[in-house]
Amino acid sequence: MNRPGLYADFWRRLRRNRLALAGGLVVVSLFVVSFLAPWLAPYDPAYIDVSSVLEGPSKAHPFGTDPLGRDVLSRMIWGSRISLKVGFVAVGLATMIGIFFGAVAGYYGDWVDALIMRFVDLMLCFPAFFLILAVIAILEPSIWNIMIVIGVTGWMGVARLVRAEFLTLKNREFVLAARALGASDRRIIFAHILPNALAPVLVAATLGVAGAILTESALSFLGIGVQPPTPSWGNILTEGKDNISLAWWLSLYPGLAILVTVLGYNLLGEGIRDSLDPRLRV
């Protein structure tokens, strides 16, 4: 298998996908903004200025101010860190759990596969968002609890993808050769099969980041996500809801940020999927 040729073909096809490049630009921009937040934010996001309460967009405050006089642009820039952290930590946890259960189910099959897949079906019976709401209502709302709960309730799709890949790959010649040479099950799973099954996982993880960001924003909007004074796009939207007739900017700008970010991750994920699909190669 000519892997360098496959990688070169993947990058060539990805570069030709303008929508994927646009999504990648959004994702890279989010990384840059979150990393440079201390230098890009014009004000301290927690600084309260009672003389500037609910001021509209101006030269001093391009995105206006909130009910406590805090600069909305600064809070949105720092809030991008929350979105990035939630997206990657939650999806990273979900991906690791999904890979483990999917690999075990697909490799061993029989009753192990049946048991794990019935557990997956049971988890899928519960609406994910309402399950997250129930768990967060029991636990103390915090950024770490949110990331863990989103990760623990979002691994089922990855498990099914990995299981399907393992069922296809476990009887291939290179696996049979490794087994004939005395390789352990752990080595066969992690060193031989898993590297060849990661393409759909990469796509699912990219799309999952967008879903995790959207879930965190929804939880913060409902008041059970990231708690003030820590800025997040969701709790800025909550302040906009409470002052919708007075401060339209509190709803518009964080809403657009969530929209563009989720759209960017979705476009990038779709582009990666199309670039990895062998049926679309020419």
pLDDT higher at 242 or 70:
70
Asked if residue 14 has pLDDT above 90, the reply is no
What does the pLDDT read at residue 272? 83
Report residue 4's pLDDT band, with 50, 70 and 90 as the boundaries. Answer: low
Q: Which whole-number Å values give the CA distances from 181 to 113, 158, 176, in the listed order?
A: 25, 30, 9
pTM here is 0.83
Asked if residue 217 has pLDDT above 80, the reply is yes
What does the pLDDT read at residue 128? 75
What does the pLDDT read at residue 277? 62
Distance in angstroms (rounded) separating the CA atoms of residues 86 and 104: 27
Q: Which whole-number Å values give the CA distances from 51 to 2, 63, 68, 69, 217, in the listed order?
A: 65, 16, 9, 7, 29
Asked if residue 3 has pLDDT above 60, the reply is no
Give the chain's mean pLDDT: 84
Distance in angstroms (rounded) separating the CA atoms of residues 63 and 250: 8
Contact status, residue 16 vs residue 274, Cβ threshold 8 Å: no
Domains of the chain: 84-280 (1.10.3720.10)
Q: Tell me which H or E stretch contains 99.
A: helix 72-108
What does the pLDDT read at residue 1? 43
Q: Is the alpha carbon torsion for 71, 77, 81, 83 positive or negative?
A: positive
pLDDT higher at 156 or 10:
156
Asked if residue 282 has pLDDT above 60, the reply is no
User: How large is the average pLDDT for residues 214-218?
Assistant: 84
What does the pLDDT read at residue 100? 92
Q: What is the pLDDT of residues 249-272, one digit of tens each?
A: 888 999 999 999 999 988 888 888
Q: Which residue has the tokens 């979900």?
A: 94
Q: What is the pLDDT of residues 44-60, one digit of tens each?
A: 888 888 888 888 898 98
CA 186 to chain centre: 28
Contact status, residue 73 vs residue 227, Cβ threshold 8 Å: no
